[in-house]
Each structure stands twice: as structure tokens, then as C-alpha cells.
Amino acid sequence: MTISRALIALSLLASLPASAAELIKLGYTRTATDIAIYTAHKRGYFRDAGLEVELIHVQSAAAMLVPITTGDVDALAGSASAGLFNATQRGLDIRLVASKVTTPKGFTSQTLIGRKEWFDSGKITKVADLKGQKIASGSPGSGALGTLNRMLRSGGLTLKDVELVYLGFPQMLPALKNGAVAATLPAEPYTLQAVREGIAVPLVRDDEVYPGHEIASFLFAGKFIRERRETAYQFLKALIRGARDHNDALDEKGMLRGPGSDGIIAIMNEYTGAKDPELFRSFPLAYCDPDGVIGLASLREDLALFRELGLIQGEPSVDKIVDDSLRQQVIKELGPYVKKK
């Protein structure tokens, strides 16, 4: 299904002079929304910056919080979780430097899907019907919790009205199929797969109820920024170049059907292991901001929710974890994004 870490590292190393490559270790969850990473790697943007990037697969951003502060991992593609806020409160130095995925209107990242068998029977046909039911989401205290909170509120419910079950994306569909849960909040392409296979029906999209939500971000170790600032800058610039290539390939509806989409889809297929060349044309692939603009308002809302649920220790703040200086430097050099015609 996926390219091994060893092959990724070796492919980059082979294309660089031995003395030129500077190693960066990046933790990522290997989803479709990691397109900026895949594109920057495949098209040589890391290599152009004299970087060797080792991709390290993790289940969630929370699982990498300690390694990123010790230097075992330099950067992470994940959400601003309750664990991240708590870690910074304990003195661990992690900085949110740019947006990876957000949700402007019309660009969905996650859809709450319900069990089709129960939809057909009339048991669950809308969000309000989920009261007292089990819903599968990602890790506790993740950014997806903010999404789910808004979704439930759209049906007059709160998180306290349902029973949360925490599963990885690949485990969500079997749980939905066998009736272990009534609904799930996966990422693409799992949502599309569930609908195509007749396992689930869509109930509500995140961009409908939480526009502008900072779903996932690029997180850098504070030590990485302090001690290798130029490297961190070049690394972020390569990621933003990758995000811009993806945006160039979108049509007016945000689908991968625009100019150059064949090349982006080929990259997606290679890095995610997808076999169907039309898969990534079948759904809007979230929104990877081509300027990396951080959704500060939603970060503050999510932090307030984490506090309300008793998931936060001490008094962390969004301002303490966000460092927008590298991103601003990148945009100053590259200029604001203008879509290629």
C-alpha cells in the first residue's frame, strides 16, 4: 500500500551529493491531505533545497509530541490537539508554523457518515438521531473533536449526548459495517469508499458547519527552528510549493480535474497506494491553503472546547504555540499565491 521509509530516504539520498543533503525527519499520518508533502518530495522541492526528508508514519500527531521535542523528529503534520497544548504548558517547545488543511465553504475535509442499514430502516437519518449512539472519531482531544462538536450542534446535540469511540481511519469502516458504531468521522478516501460500498450515507460536512476550521497544521520543534532556522525555512518553502502545485490542479469546484491534475493524481496514487486512477477525481480533496495561512480563530475555539471538556492542564494559549514568522518569510519570497491559468 505504501512506500517504505527506507525507500523514501534512499531515493532522496541517491539524488543528492553526499555532502549536500541535510536530514529532516517528518512525522505524518499518511492521508490524502498530505499532498503537499508528497508533491514536494516527488517533484524534488526538498532536493532543490539541499534536504533529505525521512517520512515517518504515525497514527496521530499526539503520538509524536515527545519525539518532536527531543529531536528524534524535527517536524510533524498533524492537528493542534489538546495534547499539544498540554505539552507546551509543560515546557515542551513545539511551534505551529503553517496550515496544512482548512475548511473554507465548498471544500470539505471530513464528513460525518452514518450506517446505511440504519439509515434505510429510518433509525438514523439525521444528526439529531445520533443521541445516545456510538460515534467513532480519531484520537482523544484531536482537532476532529472540534469538528464533531460543531456537527452535533447542527442537530441540537452536544458531545455529551453521544458515546465517543476512538479508532484509526482504517478501523472505522469495519466498525460501521458490523454495527459497532452508528456513525464515524473518517478522512478521505475512506468516506468515499464507505459510501461506494454501501456501508454508509453522508450526514453532514465539516465545511457546512465549521468553515475556516484549522484541521491540520505543520508543527516544527522549537529547537529545529532555533538551531537550523534556514533549514526550517527552506523546508517550509518546499511544502508550500507542493501545496501550490495541488491548488493549480484544481478546477473551479475544488476537484482534481484542472490543468496538471493527471500529474498530481499520479503522485497521490504512488504515495497512498491507491489503485484507481479516478479515485482522487471523485471527491474534493480538502483545502490545502497555498499560502499556509493559519486559522487562529478556530484554534482558539478548539482550545476553549478542550478546556470545557476537562482536557486541558494549566493555562496554555494559541499565541504561545503559533510562530508565523517562517511562513511570512516564505510568502515574502514567493509572493501571495496566484493560480496558474
215-242 tens-digit pLDDT: 999 999 999 999 999 999 999 999 999 9
Q: What is the pLDDT of residues 296-320, one digit of tens each?
A: 999 999 999 999 999 999 999 999 9
Of 103-112, 212-221, 236-245, where does mean pLDDT reach its minimum?
103-112
pLDDT at 52: 96
Average pLDDT (56-85) is 82
Low-confidence winner among 68-72, 104-108, 212-216, 336-340 (lowest mean pLDDT) = 68-72
Q: Is the model more confident about 327 or about 80?
A: 327
pLDDT at 243 over 60: yes
- For residues 208 and 257, give the distance between their C-alpha atoms in angstroms, rounded to a whole number: 23
* Predicted local distance difference test score (pLDDT) of residue 1: 39
Contacts of 147 (CB under 8 A, 6+ apart): 109, 110, 185, 206, 210, 213, 215
Find the angle CA(220)-CA(223)-CA(225) to the nearest 5 degrees: 55
Give the Cα separation of 78 and 68 in Å (integer).
Answer: 12
Q: Is there a cis peptide before residue 284, judged by omega within 30 degrees of 0?
A: no
Task: Look at residue 62 in the predicted model and tell me its pLDDT.
Answer: 63
Q: With bands split at pLDDT 50, 70 and 90, how would you rate the model's confidence at 20?
A: low
94-101/216-221 β-pairing: antiparallel
pLDDT reported for residue 211? 94
Domains and CATH numbers, the chain: 5-102+214-334 (3.40.190.10), 111-209 (3.40.190.10)
The pLDDT value given to residue 9 = 47
Query: What is the chain's mean pLDDT, rounded?
Result: 89
Looking at the DSSP bridge assignments, the partners of residue 23 are: 52
SS (H, E, C) the chain: CCCCHHHHHHHHHHCCCCCCCEEEEEEECCCHHHHHHHHHHHCCHHHHCCEEEEEEECCCHHHHHHHHHHCCCCEEEECCCHHHHHHHHCCCCEEEEEEEEECCCCCCCEEEEEEHHHHHHCCCCCHHHHCCCEEEECCCCCHHHHHHHHHHHCCCCCHHHCEEEECCHHHHHHHHHCCCCCEECCECCHHHHHHHCCCEEEEEEHHHHCCCCCCEEEEEEHHHHHHCHHHHHHHHHHHHHHHHHHHHCCCCCCCCCCCCHHHHHHHHHHHHCCCCCCHHHCCCCCECCCCCCCCHHHHHHHHHHHHHCCCCCCCCCHHHHECCHHHHHHHHHHCCCCCCC
Q: Tell me the average pLDDT across 119-139.
A: 95
